Amino acid sequence: MAVIADSPPRQTTPTRFARYRDNRSVLGTLFMFPAAAILVFFLAYPLGLGVWLGLTDTTIGGTGRYIGLENFYSLAKDNVFWLSVFNTTFYTVLASVVKFAIGLYLALLLNERLPFKSVLRAIVLLPFVVPTVLSAIAFWWIYDSQFSVISWVLIKAGVIDHYIDFLGLPWNARWSTIAANIWRGIPFVSITLLAGLQTISPSLYEAAMLDGARPWQRFRYITLPMLSPIIAVVMTFSVLQTFTDFQLIYTLTRGGPINATHLMATLSFQRAITGGHLGEGAAIADAMVPFLLAAITFSYLGLQRRKWQQGGAD
């Protein structure tokens, strides 16, 4: 049997590289690097570029020059822009409130012991599963000024005597697009809230029942507080999605009639891509950022766990 003689291990001071290799904070930074690179490259860079473009007079295919805040001054005097700000705010606030109300109601219902519970839950998810453009096209037919199924049914039932002009009158168009957005957004709210409801321990309800709490009191003092972190997250996402909605409006009205349904996102696209004025389109998109930041701040505050949720005092 051959014995291979090894020289005894030498005691050496670790090289500089080895020291770095074993340093936790260096390693941590190293492992964070790919994620940071992805974030910088795919999120921070486009965002920065968007902000920069908003400060230039770039046209599609042209090289722009820095013009400071001129795009914003010009937009401040543009009544179509202000109309789109109003539309966006109105659309977001109304659609989000209704989505929350109906979503919460559905979540509470689905949380009860119902027959065919899983089938019902699957059905509730349907609007969310259908691609937005497809559901938008369906709504486009439902709202058609000549072929609307709603108008047809109401006329057959003798309720009205002429077709409803859903998308042709400014306020009708606003209500109609909001209704379509609500239909699409409810599943997300209700299913997520349902998940939140299921994390609430039944023992809390049992204890409350023993204390004689009525259903409303149980909802008000157990469900709502326990659900509030989830509500904050859900509503933030819901508000963000509604605020930046594009496909629905673009398919249904392209911002018409007379810009009554133009959201900031659709106006930005129209000015930047269709009209070719990339700088101004970017400025409109930039103008959305403060609203979005406000929503994120709200979510950040909502996400903070309160002490009382862990049994402490606030």
Partner 1 sequence: MSNMNRRDVIKAGVAATAAMTTAGIVPVQAAPTWNNKPEAGASIRVLRWKQFIQAEFDKFAEQTKQFAEKTGVKVRLDAESWEDIRPKAAVAANIGAGPDLIIGTLDDPFKFPEKLIDMTDVADYLGQKYGGWYPVAQKYGKKGKEWIAIPQGATGGTMNYRISHMKAAGFEKFPTNLPDYLKLCQALKKNGTPPGFALGHATGDANGWCQWLLWAHGGKVVNEKNEVVLDSPETVAALDYAKQLAETYIAGVASWNDSNNNKAFLAGEISLTYNGISIWTVGKNSTDPKQNEIANDMDHAPMPIGPVGKPTEQQNVLVAYGYKYSKYPKAVKEYIRYMWEKEQYDAWEVASNGYVAPPLPAYNDNPVWTSDPKITPFRDCLKRCLDNGYAGDLGYASAGVMGDFVVVDMFAEACLGQQSPKDAAKRAADRAKRYYNV
Q: Is 170 in the site for partner 1 (CB under 8 A)?
A: yes
> In whole angstroms, what is the distance from residue 277 CA to residue 38 CA?
29
Looking at the DSSP bridge assignments, the partners of residue 56 are 66
Helix axes 45-54, 278-303, angle to 10 degrees: 130
Q: Does 271 bind partner 1 (CB under 8 A)?
A: yes
Among 98-106, 117-125, 179-187, 252-260, which window interacts with partner 1 (CB under 8 A)?
A: 252-260
Binding flag, residue 80, partner 1 (CB under 8 A) = yes
In whole angstroms, how close is the CB of 126 to partner 1 at the nearest point?
A: 26
Closest to 281 in 3D by CA, of 87, 77, 59: 59
| In the complex, least distance from residue 174 CB atom to partner 1, rounded to whole angstroms | 12
Q: Is 184 exposed, middle or buried (0-12, 13-18, 19+ CB in 10 A)?
A: buried
| Shortest separation between residue 171's beta carbon and partner 1, angstroms | 11
79 near partner 1 (CB under 8 A): yes
Residue 56 near residue 65, CB atoms below 8 Å: yes
Q: How far is CA 242 from CA 5, 15, 55, 57, in A?
A: 74, 56, 26, 29
Structure tokens at 212: 């004689």
Classify residue 311 as left (phi > 0), alpha (psi -120 to 50) or beta: left
Give whichever of 227 and 284 is closer to partner 1, judged by the CB atom: 284
Stretch binding partner 1 (CB under 8 A), from 31-39, 159-167, 286-294, 303-311: 159-167
Report which of 14, 234, 205 is spatially closest to residue 111, judged by C-alpha positions: 205
Is 23 a residue that touches partner 1 (CB under 8 A)?
no
Is 46 among the residues that bind partner 1 (CB under 8 A)?
Answer: no
- 121 to 150, contacts with partner 1 by CB under 8 A? 143-147
User: By CB under 8 A, is residue 68 in contact with partner 1?
Assistant: no
Please list the residues that pair with 66 across neighbouring strands: 56
**Binder among 74, 201, 217, 297 for partner 1 (CB under 8 A):** 74
Which candidate, 265, 272, 274, 230, places its Cα nearest to that of 246? 265
Among the listed residues 32, 97, 122, 258, the single contact to partner 1 using CB under 8 A: 258
Question: Does position 177 bind partner 1 by CB under 8 A?
Answer: no
First to last CA, the chain: 75
Q: Between 241 and 247, name the residue whose CB sits nearer to partner 1.
A: 247
Site of interaction with partner 1 (CB under 8 A): 57, 59-63, 74, 78-80, 143-147, 162-163, 165-170, 173, 253-259, 270-271, 273-277
